[in-house]
């Protein structure tokens, strides 16, 4: 079995969209810096309700327009797409605002806490005929295009057991420990959940245990997901301990392992099932390293928009909602309430 070549879209081959930004926080800084460096996308406006924040961000990234409210930004005729990276509990409001103004949206992950809210956003977007995508950037990395080709080839055989973990001692990241700002299962766990979803689909049952603070914020969880296919997934998610961020899946005919961290540009290996396996590894040496990989999704977004698509083909509305449903179920089972 061979590793296929990655599929990389030439950033110059897609329209250079004019983006507006809602919620210019830390992740927006990383996304904009990477996207300005590696793509043909243009950021032309930024809005923040925090005095001076939009100006500061605009100045740093050479963005011509600033707004003190989101209504004015989404109404701006020059804007093709809105990137929403506000507080997680505000995603719904801001997504609906942009959609109602007829704008296509890229919303930071997780898109919402409630599956129903994600469904409402996507229904509204389809109704308004705008593209709506959750910023699950991992799906657009070169290694993910290899993974999908392997999955589509059928050569791997039936999936068996997947393990994925994202454990990072983020006790100092205040946002994660406040209701509405994330929570560990949603903010970090969305990556293991998404990789399991990509490979195995939506689980038919979930059994989760975990550690939750008295205020309802979750610290750590261990989830076993079962699938109608017979496959299983074991997800370990922690905001209070650090472990290698790995994801692997055993199939009937081979084993796939993503590099470390599995959700940023790293590597992908195809291995035999022997105790001392033979393996072929593709290593990402594109030069777009670490969180600069956030830029790929912007190019894919522009491609989809130019094709008149209303959703990502590799991270569909249904898949996005399925992931929120899984995260919601895990938090429910462990007794957390991060929103």
CB count within 10 Å of CB 299 equals 23
Q: What is the DSSP code (8-state) at residue 312?
A: -
Q: Taking CB under 8 A as the criterion, which residues in 7-26 touch a second copy?
A: none
Q: Taking CB under 8 A as the criterion, which residues in 133-162 touch a second copy?
A: 160-161
Contact status: 248 vs a second copy (CB under 8 A): yes
Give the up-direction half-sphere exposure of residue 279: CA atoms within 13 A in the CB hemisphere. Answer: 17
H helix runs in the chain, sequence order: 26-38, 53-61, 70-75, 91-100, 115-128, 142-153, 184-187, 190-200, 296-306, 317-334
Strand 42-47: give its sheet, edge to edge: 65-67, 42-47, 18-22, 81-84, 104-107, 132-134
Q: Of 129, 124, 102, which is closest to residue 111 (Cα–Cα)? A: 124
Sign of torsion, CA 36 305 138 73?
A: positive
Q: What are 206's two structure tokens? A: 């979930």
Contact status: 318 vs a second copy (CB under 8 A): no
CB count within 10 Å of CB 27 equals 16
Contact status: 30 vs a second copy (CB under 8 A): no
Contact status: 241 vs a second copy (CB under 8 A): yes
Site map for a second copy, 266-285, x if CB under 8 A?
-----x-x-xxx--------
Q: Taking CB under 8 A as the criterion, which residues in 50-79 touch a second copy?
A: none
Contact status: 213 vs a second copy (CB under 8 A): no
User: Is the Cβ of residue 224 or residue 314 nearer to a second copy in the bound state?
Assistant: 224
Contact status: 207 vs a second copy (CB under 8 A): yes
Site map for a second copy, 159-178, x if CB under 8 A?
-xx-x-x-xxx---------
User: Is the Cβ of residue 59 or residue 242 nearer to a second copy in the bound state?
Assistant: 242
Q: Which residues in this chain contact a second copy in the complex, by CB under 8 A?
A: 160-161, 163, 165, 167-169, 207, 209, 211, 220, 222, 224, 232, 234, 236, 238, 240-244, 246, 248-250, 255, 257, 261, 271, 273, 275-277, 290
């Amino acid at each position: 079995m061979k590793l296929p070549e990655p599929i990389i879209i030439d950033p110059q081959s897609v329209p250079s969209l004019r983006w507006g930004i809602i919620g210019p926080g830390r992740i927006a800084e990383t996304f904009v810096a990477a996207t300005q460096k590696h793509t043909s996308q243009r950021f032309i406006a930024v809005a923040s309700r925090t005095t001076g924040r939009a100006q500061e961000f605009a100045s740093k990234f050479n963005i011509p327009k600033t707004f003190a409210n989101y209504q004015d930004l989404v109404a701006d005729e020059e804007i093709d797409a809105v990137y929403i990276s506000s507080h997680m509990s505000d995603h719904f409001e801001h997504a609906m605002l942009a959609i109602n103004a007829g704008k296509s949206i890229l919303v930071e992950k997780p898109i919402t806490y409630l599956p129903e809210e994600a469904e409402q956003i996507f229904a509204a977007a389809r109704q308004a005929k705008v593209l709506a995508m959750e910023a699950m950037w991992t799906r657009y990395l070169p290694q993910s295009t290899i993974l999908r080709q392997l999955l589509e080839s059928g050569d791997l055989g039936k999936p068996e057991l997947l393990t994925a973990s994202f454990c990072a001692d983020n006790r100092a990241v205040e946002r994660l420990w406040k209701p509405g700002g994330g929570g560990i299962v949603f903010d970090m766990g969305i990556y293991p959940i998404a990789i399991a979803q990509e490979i195995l689909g939506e689980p038919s049952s979930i059994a989760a245990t975990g550690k939750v603070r008295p205020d309802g914020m979750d610290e750590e969880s261990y989830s076993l997901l079962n699938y109608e296919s017979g496959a299983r997934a074991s997800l370990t998610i922690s905001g209070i301990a650090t472990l290698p961020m790995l994801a692997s899946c055993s199939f009937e005919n081979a084993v796939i392992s993503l590099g470390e961290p599995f959700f940023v540009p790293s590597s992908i290996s195809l291995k035999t099932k022997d105790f001392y396996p033979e393996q072929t590894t593709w290593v990402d040496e594109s030069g777009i390293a670490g969180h600069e990989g956030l830029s790929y999704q912007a190019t894919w977004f522009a491609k989809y928009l130019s094709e008149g698509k209303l959703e990502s083909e590799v991270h569909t509305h249904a898949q996005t909602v399925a992931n929120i449903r899984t995260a919601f179920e895990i938090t429910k089972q462990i007794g957390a309430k991060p929103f």
